[in-house]
Amino acid sequence: QVQLVESGGGLVQAGGSLRLSCTASGRTFSGYTFSDYAMAWFRQAPGKERIFVASISWSGSRTYYVDSVKGRFTISRDNAKNTVILQVNSLKPEDTAVYYCARAKTPYTTGTSLDEYDYWGQGTQVTVSS
């Protein structure tokens, strides 16, 4: 079983920054490892659906972002540490949400939709005050 644990959320003023981290542990019996899977961040604001924020390919060579965060958020990964990072800058009140880390269902595929990811962390709260 794979476990994903997020950290780094908090309360910040508009314009501020946070560094969200997600570390994977555990194992599957497929023979694949962390470095074979794309990773992503999603977020869910109160009363709203969970939406895609950013994803990164298994090697880290390709990244994807929702339009509303382009130029402000950066996703990266360190496969040696089984970690994926979301650096969030120039935060706005509308970025307030619980941020979730997720692992792709299928090795060597990088998606942007919820149903392409099967392992999820517990979430970390980001609150941006105006």
The predicted structure's pLDDT at residue 30: 75
The predicted structure's pLDDT at residue 91: 98
22-74 confidence digits (pLDDT tens):
999 987 667 899 999 999 999 999 999 999 999 999 999 999 999 999 999 99
Say how far apart CA 16 and CA 36 lie, in whole Å: 33
Report CA torsion sign: 43, 44, 48, 51.
Answer: positive
Summarize the confidence of residues 98-121 as an average pLDDT.
96
Beta strands 124-129 and 10-13 are parallel
Summarize the confidence of residues 109-127 as an average pLDDT.
97
Burial pattern 35-69, b for ≥16 Cβ within 10 A else e, equals eebbbbbbbeeeeeebebbbbbbbebeebbbbeeb
CA 129 to chain centre: 21
Burial pattern 99-123, b for ≥16 Cβ within 10 A else e, equals bbbbbbeeeeebbbebebbebbbeb
Residue reference for tokens 């709260």: 125
The predicted structure's pLDDT at residue 8: 98
Q: How far apart are the first and last CA of the chain?
A: 40
- Asked if 9 contacts 99 with a C-beta cutoff of 8 angstroms, the reply is yes
61-95 confidence digits (pLDDT tens):
999 999 999 999 999 999 999 999 999 999 999 99
